[in-house]
């Protein structure tokens, strides 16, 4: 077999005359003109190819750039999960497709679910559940709906037919739950950038019963970072209702109308089994936390008795409880706060650590109360546990 010809070197393409020095030759006008012509021809060819490839690149390049960000966060969460042996499931409970006012198809949403490493996703379009015909084509892509009612939107999961609201908030919430669904209040304080709910809209949550669910992070119209002032207000609302003795489960969702936002904030659940029924049961029981990066957990124990975790109730008349807090982020932690009845009981500043595991003996509280955990990573990403409740024997939620 003949050996392949080697590339022709530059000095061989334009060999200098015998009596001219090599440096003088390359500076000669003739050679410079020839080199400029070659460069011009090559540049024109590159421009021609770029123009020809533009439609394809315009369609594909943004997706590939977003996918790079998704991969960075996916790897970060995967490394964090390995640090604490996390066995829950991360997912999206509130997103929209072109079956209502979303800008992407169900397939687009499913692509970014996979790119983000989420375990499941609910597509919750307005005006019905026609999207379910497409959802079934994708693994662990389920469906829900988001009808409007008095003062608020209600996200409804686990119902296969279109829900027709009456226009009365409490009645519609109870009807959705009675039909076997898992309802939640979407964006209870408004959404980015300028929608702010009135005091009347926020106060209407008082109409709900002793147990309900609501979002505390909603990423509508945002990408990469879903936290804004409306989420701060939602956390305040959450504590207000908890202080009245209610049991309020919280979620964090992108409310993605742009498929590229999927995965920027998520809700992790601790189901007994991984299935749509298992995930919804875990959410219904408050066995979940909200995050856009860290992984957190919180448990309580009194007098060496049973352990209660997120969403659970510790029946105890003792004022002394042992709180165990766990927080982790492979990108590094900044601060972890323990909240009791809306106030910071203690906080742990963290420097150059990926995992914090602490026990705290709280001996200065009595009666019905709740505890929750807030975690902040070095880059400002955050997580919130659902509450763990302490109730004297016989105490019912909603009674302070």
Q: DSSP strand E in 137-178: where?
A: 141-145, 154-157
| Residue of 124, 108, 100 whose CA lies nearest to 187 | 124
CATH classification of the domain holding 384: 2.60.40.10
pLDDT score at 304 = 85
Pair 330, 183 in one domain? no
Task: Tell whether omega for the bond before 218 is within 30 degrees of 0, i.e. cis.
Answer: no
Q: Decide the pairing of beta strands 120-125 and 89-92.
A: parallel
Structural domain ending residue among the three candidates 292, 313, 340: 292
Once rounded to an integer, what is the mean pLDDT over residues 355-366?
A: 91
pLDDT score at 25 = 60
Q: Is residue 44 part of a domain?
A: no
Which range (31-45, 81-95, 253-267, 321-335) has the least confidence?
Answer: 31-45
pLDDT digits (tens, 9 = 90+) for 14-26: 555 555 555 566 6
For the four alpha carbons of 60, 61, 66 and 69, in that order, the dihedral sign comes to positive
Count the helix, strand and coil residues of the chain and give each as a percent rounded to the nearest 5: 30, 30, 40
Over 80: is that where the pLDDT of 291 sits?
Answer: yes
Q: Is residue 31 part of a domain?
A: no
Once rounded to an integer, what is the mean pLDDT over residues 149-172?
A: 97
Pair 131, 203 in one domain? yes
Pair 332, 379 in one domain? yes
Using CA atoms of 58, 64, 70, 76 in order, give the dihedral in degrees to the nearest 10: -140
Do 305 and 327 form a contact (C-beta atoms < 8 A)?
A: no
Over 60: is that where the pLDDT of 271 sits?
Answer: yes
Q: Is residue 298 part of a domain?
A: yes
Side-chain-side CA neighbours of residue 42 (13 Å): 6
Distance CA 315, CA 391 (A): 5
Distance CA 382, CA 133 (A): 35
Q: Is residue 41 part of a domain?
A: no
Once rounded to an integer, what is the mean pLDDT over residues 45-61?
A: 81
Over 50: is that where the pLDDT of 131 sits?
Answer: yes
Distance CA 247, CA 388 (A): 9
Once rounded to an integer, what is the mean pLDDT over residues 47-52?
A: 82
Pair 338, 271 in one domain? no
Q: Is residue 175 part of a domain?
A: yes
Q: Is residue 42 part of a domain?
A: no
Pair 314, 174 in one domain? no
- Beta-bridge mates of residue 269: 89, 288
pLDDT band at 400 (very low <50, low <70, confident <90, very high): very low
- Considering the chain, what is the average pLDDT of its residues? 91
Over 90: is that where the pLDDT of 288 sits?
Answer: yes
Phi, psi of 23 (to 5 degrees): -70, -40
Over 70: is that where the pLDDT of 36 sits?
Answer: yes
Distance CA 315, CA 245 (A): 14
- Centre a 10 Å sphere on the Cβ of residue 15 and count the other Cβ atoms it contains: 9
Pair 283, 311 in one domain? no
* Burial (Cβ within 10 Å: 0-12, 13-18, ≥19) of residue 69: middle
Pair 63, 104 in one domain? yes
Once rounded to an integer, what is the mean pLDDT over residues 300-316?
A: 93
pLDDT band at 46 (very low <50, low <70, confident <90, very high): confident
Number of helices followed by number of strands (H, E) in the chain: 9, 21
Range of the domain at 303: 294-400
Over 50: is that where the pLDDT of 127 sits?
Answer: yes
pLDDT score at 56 = 80
Q: Decide the pairing of beta strands 295-301 and 321-328.
A: antiparallel
Distance CA 120, CA 268 (A): 10
CATH classification of the domain holding 253: 3.20.20.140
Q: Is residue 348 part of a domain?
A: yes
Pair 248, 306 in one domain? no
204 vs 54, residue with greater confidence: 204
Pair 304, 258 in one domain? no
pLDDT digits (tens, 9 = 90+) for 212-251: 999 999 999 999 999 999 999 999 999 999 999 999 999 9
pLDDT score at 20 = 54
Tell me the two tokens of residue 386: 């659902």
Structural domain ending residue among the three candidates 269, 292, 315: 292
Over 70: is that where the pLDDT of 176 sits?
Answer: yes
Pair 207, 307 in one domain? no
Q: What is the domain count for the chain?
A: 2
pLDDT digits (tens, 9 = 90+) for 318-337: 788 999 999 999 999 999 99
pLDDT score at 311 = 98
Over 60: is that where the pLDDT of 7 sits?
Answer: no
Pair 395, 301 in one domain? yes
Over 60: is that where the pLDDT of 138 sits?
Answer: yes
Structural domain ending residue among the three candidates 233, 260, 292: 292
Provide DSSP, 312-348. -EEE---S-EEEEEEEE-TT-EEEEEEEETTEEEEEE
Over 60: is that where the pLDDT of 30 sits?
Answer: yes
pLDDT band at 167 (very low <50, low <70, confident <90, very high): very high
Helix, strand, or coil (residue 208): coil
Q: Is residue 4 part of a domain?
A: no
Q: Taking the complete model, does pTM exceed 0.85, yes or no? A: yes
Pair 249, 286 in one domain? yes
């Amino acid at each position: 077999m003949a050996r392949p010809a080697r590339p022709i070197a530059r000095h061989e393409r334009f060999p200098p005359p015998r009596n001219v020095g090599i440096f003088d030759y390359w500076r000669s006008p003739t050679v410079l003109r020839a080199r400029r012509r070659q460069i011009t021809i090559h540049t024109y060819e590159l421009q021609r190819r770029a123009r020809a490839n533009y439609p394809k690149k315009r369609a594909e390049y943004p997706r590939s750039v977003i996918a790079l960000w998704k991969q960075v966060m996916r790897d970060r969460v995967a490394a964090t999960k390995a640090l604490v042996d996390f066995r829950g499931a991360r997912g999206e409970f509130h997103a929209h497709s072109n079956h209502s006012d979303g800008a992407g198809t169900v397939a687009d949403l499913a692509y970014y679910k996979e790119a983000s490493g989420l375990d499941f996703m609910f597509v919750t379009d307005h005006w019905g559940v026609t999207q379910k015909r497409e959802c079934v084509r994708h693994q662990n892509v389920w469906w829900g709906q988001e009808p409007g009612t008095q003062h608020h939107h209600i996200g409804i999961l686990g119902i296969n037919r279109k829900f027709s609201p009456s226009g009365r908030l409490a009645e519609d919430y109870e009807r959705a739950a009675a039909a076997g669904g898992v309802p939640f209040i979407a964006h209870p304080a408004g959404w980015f950038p300028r929608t702010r709910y009135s005091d009347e809209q926020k106060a209407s949550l008082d109409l709900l019963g002793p147990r309900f669910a609501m979002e505390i992070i909603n990423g509508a119209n945002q990408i990469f970072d879903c936290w804004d002032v409306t989420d701060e207000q939602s956390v305040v609302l959450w504590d207000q209702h908890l202080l009245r003795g209610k049991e309020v489960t919280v979620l964090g969702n992108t409310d993605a109308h742009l498929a590229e936002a999927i995965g920027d904030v998520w809700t992790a659940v601790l189901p007994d089994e991984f299935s749509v029924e298992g995930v919804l049961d875990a959410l219904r029981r408050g066995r979940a936390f909200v995050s856009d990066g860290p992984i957190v957990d919180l448990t309580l124990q009194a007098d060496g008795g049973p352990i209660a975790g997120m969403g659970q109730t510790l029946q105890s008349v003792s004022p002394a409880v042992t709180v165990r807090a766990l927080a982790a982020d492979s990108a590094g932690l900044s601060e972890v706060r323990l909240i009791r009845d809306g106030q910071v009981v203690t906080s742990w500043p963290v420097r150059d650590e990926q995992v914090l595991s602490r026990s705290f003996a709280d001996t200065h509280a009595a009666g019905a109360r709740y505890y929750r955990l807030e975690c902040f990573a070095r880059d400002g990403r955050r997580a919130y546990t659902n509450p763990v409740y302490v109730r004297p024997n016989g105490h019912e939620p909603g009674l302070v």
